[in-house]
Amino acid sequence: MWGWEQLYFNVKDGYLEAIVRGHKSGLLSVPDYNNLTQCEALDDIKLNLVRQQQQPPTATDYGAYLANEASPLFTSTIVDRCTRKLVDDWNMMRCQADEKLAKFLDFCTYGHMIDNVVLIVTGTLHERDVQELLDKCHPLGMFDSIATLAVAQNMRELYRLVLVDTPLAPYFSENLTHEDLDEMNIEIMRNTLYKAYLDDFAAYCTQLGGTTAEVMTDLLAFEADRRALNITLNSIGTELTRDDRKKLYSNFGLLYPHGHNELSIAEDFDQIRAAMEKVPAYASLFNKLGYGESQMLDKLLYEEEVKRCAACYEQQFHYGVFYSYMKLREQEIRNIMWVSECVAQDQKSRVNDGIVFLF
Amino acid sequence: MSDLSPAHGSSSEAELKEAKFVGTLHAIDDYLAACTQLTAALKGGWFSLARAKYAGAPGASLGQAAYPGDMRASAVVSVVEPSDPDDLFDRFELQRAADGPSVSSDAGAAPETSGGGRDRGRDAAADRSNASEAAAADGQVPAAGPSATGSGRGSKAAADPLQWFGGGLPPADLRQAQRDFQGALAAAVAAANQLQRLRGLADALLDGGSTAGSADEAEGAAEQPAARGGGRVLLRGALLQP
C-alpha cells in the first residue's frame, strides 16, 4: 500500500534523496543551453560550462571537471569529463546507500555493464588491444573480472569463465550459450541480456512496492517499449527474422503483447507507426511526425523520457528519483555532445534538432 | 596573352583557341562542382555520424575501438591510362570490393563445442582468403574485412564495416553516414578526374599558343623547357584559383 513510506523512508534513505535532489537542481536550464548554442568553438563551450569569468564567478556542475582541460578540445573529451561528473555522483551515493537502495542503484547500472561486456567481446573479436577497450568502457558498468572477457572464444566460455560470477549471470539462458561469437550474435546477445535485465528490474521494483513500484513501472515500461521500437526500426531490411525480432522484445510494457505482435511483422516505418498509434500514450508522439519521417523520432522519444523523469520529482520517498537522475544527467550529456558536434562541424543551424530541454 | 591574340593567327586558329579556352572554363566549372559535391557529402556523413552517436545508447561505441585490428580497404583507386594517346594525364577509377563469403553463413552448421567455434572461425577466415585470392586473380578488389593471416585467433569481423558498430542492427543514421561517405569517395575520385582533365586542357591551351609561331620559336621553346613549364604552371595556377 503506497503512502506508508512517509513514515520510514527518511530513516535510511532520506539523506541520499536530498543529495540526489540537490544534484538534480544543478542540471542545465534553458538559458544555459541558449548560451551554449551561441558558442563558436569548443573552447567557448568549455568556458560556458566553467564560467569563472563572470562576476560573481559561477560554474555549472561540470566546471571542476573541465577547468583544467587544455586546448585543443575534442567532443569526446568534453563528453568524457561530463560523464565523470555523473560517475562520481553515483559512486558517492552508492557508497552511502543501505542494502535495498544499494541493490536498486546497482540495478540501474546493469545496462552499462551489458554494454561494456559487448564492447569487450566485440573488440576482442576484432583483435583490438584489451587495455584500449577497457579505457572505452563506461565506468558505471565495470566489474572485477571484465578484462578476462577477452579470453572467451564463444558464448559458453563467456558465461562459464567470466559472467557466471557477475550480476548478469541470471540473464544468460541455455539458448544463448550455444551461439558462436560474431557481430550478429553479439548484438542478439546484447538485446537478449537487456530484455532479461529489464524484466528482472521491473520485478524487483514491483517487489519493493509503494511509490517506487508505481513510478518505476511506468519508467521501465517506457524503456521497454522504446527498445522494442528501436529494435524494429533497426532490423528492417536486415537478416534478423520476425521470430528472432519478437524474441528480443521485453515481456512487459504498454506494447506487450499485441503491439509486439504487430511490430514483429512490420516491414517499413508506416507499419511501425500504425502499430504504435494504437497505444494512446504514443499516438501523440507519432502525430508530431510527418508520414515516412523518422529522423525526429529519437528526439521525441527523449523528450517523452525527460518529461516522465522530471515528473518523478513531484513525489517523495521513492527510489525513482535516483533512476531519473541518471537518465536526466545522461540526456544532458547527450545535449552537450550534440551542441559540441554541431559547433565543431559548423552546423549551428541544426543545433536545435537535438537539444532536449530538461526543465 | 600575346600568344592568344587573334592578330597572330588566322581566324580559324583564333576560334580554335577560343574553343579550347571555353572548354577549359567548363572544365573548371565541372571541377568546382565536383568539389562542392564532395564537401556536401562529407559534411552530410559527419553529421549523420553525430546523429548516430546522439541516438545510440550511452555505452554504444562508434569509435575506433570497434575497428578490426587488421582492416582491409573496401574500395581502391586504380590509375588508368587515358584512351587518347595525346592525353598525358592518367585517370582514376574507383573499384569497390567484390562480395566475399560471409562469416555468419559459414557459422551455421558447425559443432557446438568451444574448440569447434575457433575452428569455424579459422575455416571461415581461410575461405575468405581463398575468395580474396580468386578475386584478385580476376582483377577485382578483394572483399573488405580482416585478413586470414591475423593474430592466429582468426579474426571474425564482418565484411560490411557497418556491422562492426551494431551487429546486424545498425541504426538508420549510421547507414546514412555510410551512404554519405561512399558518395564522398566517389565524388573525390570524380573531382580528381576533373582535375586531370583540366590539366590536360590547360596544357593543350598553352601548347596551342606556343606552336602558333615559327620553327625557330619552337626550337627556342624546346631549349627553354623550364620557362615553358613555368608558364604552364602560372596559367594552371591562374585557371585553378577559386
Which set of grid coordinates corresponds to residue A189? 546477445
Tell me what pLDDT residue B58 has.
55
Give the three-state DSSP class for B141: strand
- B108 in contact with A, Cβ within 8 Å: no
Q: Residue B141 pairs with which residues in a beta bridge? A: B97
With CB atoms and an 8 Å threshold, state whether B104 touches A182.
Answer: yes
Closest B-chain CA to A348: B47
Do A354 and A41 touch, CB atoms closer than 8 A? no
With CB atoms and an 8 Å threshold, state whether B155 touches A126.
Answer: yes
With CB atoms and an 8 Å threshold, state whether A182 touches B103.
Answer: yes
Give the three-state DSSP class for B89: coil
B146 vs A contacts (CB less than 8 Å): 126-127
Closest B-chain CA to A111: B59
Element (H, E) at B95: strand B91-96
Closest A-chain CA to B170: A234
- Nearest CA of chain B to the CA of A186: how many Å? 7
With CB atoms and an 8 Å threshold, state whether B54 touches A154.
Answer: no
Considering only CB atoms, A125 lies closest to which of B51, B156, B171, namely B156
Tell me what pLDDT residue B207 has.
76
Each residue's pLDDT, cut to its tens digit, for chain B (242 residues) gives 444 555 555 788 888 888 888 999 999 999 999 999 999 999 999 999 999 989 886 556 677 777 877 788 888 899 988 887 777 788 899 888 764 333 333 333 333 333 333 333 333 334 444 444 444 444 444 444 444 433 333 455 667 788 777 666 888 888 999 999 999 999 999 999 999 988 888 888 887 654 444 444 444 444 444 444 444 444 445 544 44
B58 vs A contacts (CB less than 8 Å): 112, 115, 138, 330, 333-334
Q: Residue B78 pairs with which residues in a beta bridge? A: B93
With CB atoms and an 8 Å threshold, state whether A190 touches B103.
Answer: no
Do A112 and A140 touch, CB atoms closer than 8 A? yes
- Nearest CA of chain B to the CA of A111: how many Å? 9
Tell me what pLDDT residue A291 has.
60
Which one of B46, B169, B176, B178 makes the best mutation probe of the A interface by having the most chain A beta carbons within 10 Å?
B169
Cβ-based burial of B237 (10 A; exposed 0-12, middle 13-18, buried ≥19): exposed
Angle made by CA atoms B185, B167, A116, in degrees to the nearest 5: 115
Q: What is residue A154's DSSP assignment? A: B
With CB atoms and an 8 Å threshold, state whether B168 touches A240.
Answer: yes
Cα separation of A72 and A77, whole Å? 10
With CB atoms and an 8 Å threshold, state whether A187 touches B67.
Answer: no
Q: What sections of A137-254 are H helices per DSSP?
A: 155-157, 183-208, 210-235, 242-247
Tell me what pLDDT residue A57 has.
57
Comparing CA positions, the residue from A291, A302, A308, A279 lying closest to residue A355 is A302
- B118 in contact with A, Cβ within 8 Å: yes
Cα separation of A146 and B128, whole Å? 31
- Nearest CA of chain B to the CA of A101: how many Å? 23
Do A332 and A355 touch, CB atoms closer than 8 A? no
Do B150 and B70 touch, CB atoms closer than 8 A? yes
Closest B-chain CA to A337: B54
With CB atoms and an 8 Å threshold, state whether A184 touches B167.
Answer: yes
Do A162 and B141 touch, CB atoms closer than 8 A? no
Cα separation of A336 and A33, whole Å? 9
Each residue's pLDDT, cut to its tens digit, for chain A (359 residues) gives 456 778 889 999 999 999 999 999 999 999 999 999 999 999 999 999 987 555 555 678 888 898 888 889 999 999 999 999 999 999 999 999 999 999 999 999 999 999 999 888 888 888 888 888 899 899 999 998 898 888 888 888 888 888 888 999 999 876 666 667 777 788 888 899 999 999 999 999 999 999 999 999 999 999 999 999 999 998 988 888 889 899 999 999 999 999 999 999 999 888 999 999 999 989 988 888 776 566 678 899 999 999 999 999 999 999 999 999 999 999 999 999 999 999 999 999 999 989 999 87
Instruction: Collect contacts of B18-21 with beta carbons under 8 A, ≥24 apart.
Output: B20/B201, B20/B204, B20/B205, B20/B208, B21/B205
Q: How far is CA B225 from CA A29, A61, B1, B207, B222, in A?
A: 69, 68, 19, 12, 6
Closest A-chain CA to B120: A180
> Is the bond leading into A57 cis (omega within 30 degrees of zero)?
no
A128 vs B contacts (CB less than 8 Å): 65, 67-69
Comparing CA positions, the residue from A337, A332, A340 lying closest to residue A356 is A332
Tell me what pLDDT residue A2 has.
56
